[in-house]
Structure 1
């Protein structure tokens, strides 16, 4: 097995591992959402906020892992092409040996150039993959935006027909505001009609 083939195996293995980790994060996210629902039912808003933040963090982690897995898979595809090209170049070299010297040197030179380009591409992609892995490591301590936490709490509550007692300044009840606005407009309209009749 050549170094290139070993790298290809490693890349495919890494892709599978990342996908497995992403699935685990998605499961963890669902567990946190279930805890969030229970906390809302019990009126434990502080706990609910914590579970909502955890669920969002797990969701972000899963997306980052899937993104990275997709990129590693793209690198694997390029390496697969390089492995195929190396096989093709070996076959071509053995065919060329039977030809005259001029043809042989021209084709081998071309094959060698193609392989150098592929190897350079692979090295560049390898560096990029390492950078991405480092970035992923740094993103694990993500802070969760407060508005996302409140929004997820509201969604879970709505999905399960629960009422959430959130601070009105944090998350205004738009439905109540809309009804109040509608009632005010009706009153204004009635006033205008009375004024016209009078």
Structure 2
């Protein structure tokens, strides 16, 4: 079946709204566009036109985690806060530091993380990040015990608004790092156990 450029734009736009999540061109071609003769290049061109259409609006079409999604523009976030029933999860500094080590040095073992941070990493921290689907085991290090190797996920990329890991700000750019990981509210670590990580969340 054939589809003209305007219809293609409309179908892609409607699909992204209905799915309400990050969707790749491959997923579009295998679902709503499966019955149409349309190339990847034409789909990408239609998406780029949609991005232009939404410039200057309260909604934008962004590329994250290898796909595309609609989201409100960042400057409106403070005003939209009352509409969100659930508060953003609050993580300890230890949890965010652990996540940063995994993001920048992946794949890494728990021992690697502890070496970089200089303190033991509590199991609850790894579990918290795993439950959030921000990290996963991608293999095992070929050393005695074959410890798991942790890496970040597409959910991590989508939450932090990144298309690929290469989009992470340089480690030397403290302001960008604070803006990135500041999206998940940090709370102070407990001072009662200096040799291990203590965490408190409201999840």
Q: Which has the higher strand share?
A: 2
Same fold (TM over 0.5): no
Higher relative contact order (CA 8 A, sep 6+): 1
Structure number with higher helix proportion: 1
TM-score by length of 2: 0.19
TM-score norm. by structure 1 comes to: 0.19
